[in-house]
Structure 1
Amino acid sequence: MSPNAETIRNFYDAFKAQDKESCQNMCAKDIEWSTMNGMPNGGTFVGKGAVFDKYFPEMLSNFEEFHAIPEEFLDAGENIVVTGRYEGIPKSSSTRFVAKFVHIYTVHNSKITRFRQYTDTKSIQDSLASANTQKNITKL
Structure 2
Amino acid sequence: MSEAYDIIKAHYAASDRGDLDGMVEAFADDIAWTEMDGFPYAGTYVGTDAIKAGVFGRLGKDWKGFRADADELVDGGDGTVVAIGHYSGTYRATGKAMRVRFVHVWRVQDGAITGFEQFCDTHNVRQAMG
TM-score, with structure 1 as normaliser = 0.86
Preserved CA contact (<8 Å) 1:38 1:121: yes
Q: Which runs of 5+ in 1 are unaligned?
A: 130-140
Q: Structure 1 residue 103 and structure 2 residue 104: aligned?
A: yes
Query: Given residue 102 of structure 1, which amino acid in structure 2 is its aligned partner?
Result: V
Q: Please name the residue that 2:113 is paired with.
A: 112
In structure 2, what residue type is equivalent to 1:6? D
Sequence identity (%): 29
State the Cα RMSD in Å: 1.3
Which region of structure 1 is more displaced relative to structure 2, 9-18 or 27-36? 9-18
Equivalent position amino acid for 2:114 in 1: T
Question: Mapping of 1:1-140 within 5 angstroms?
Answer: 1-77=1-77, 78-129=79-130
Structure number having the greater helix percentage: 1
Superposition deviation, residue 94 in structure 1: 3.6
Larger Rg computed on CA atoms = 1
Alignment partners' CA distance in 1, 2:63 and 2:103? 21
User: Once the 2 structures are TM-superposed, how far is the Cα of residue 71 of structure 1 from its aligned partner?
Assistant: 1.0
As a proportion of its length, which structure holds more strand?
Answer: 2
Q: Deviations over 1:2-23 (max 9, x none)?
A: 2211110110111122211112
Preserved contact between residue 33 and residue 115 of structure 2 (Cα < 8 Å): yes
Q: Could you tell me which amino acid in structure 2 is paired with residue 126 of structure 1?
A: Q
- Cα distance in 1, alignment partners of residues 70 and 12 from structure 2: 7
How far apart are 1:62 and its partner, in Å?
1.4
Q: Is the 8 A contact 2:100 2:120 kept in 1?
A: yes
Cα displacement (A) at 1:92: 3.6
Deviation at 1:70, TM superposition (A): 0.5
Equivalences, count: 129
> Does the CA contact (< 8 Å) of 1:40 and 1:59 recur in 2?
no
What is the distance in 1 between the residues matched to 2:93 and 2:40?
A: 16
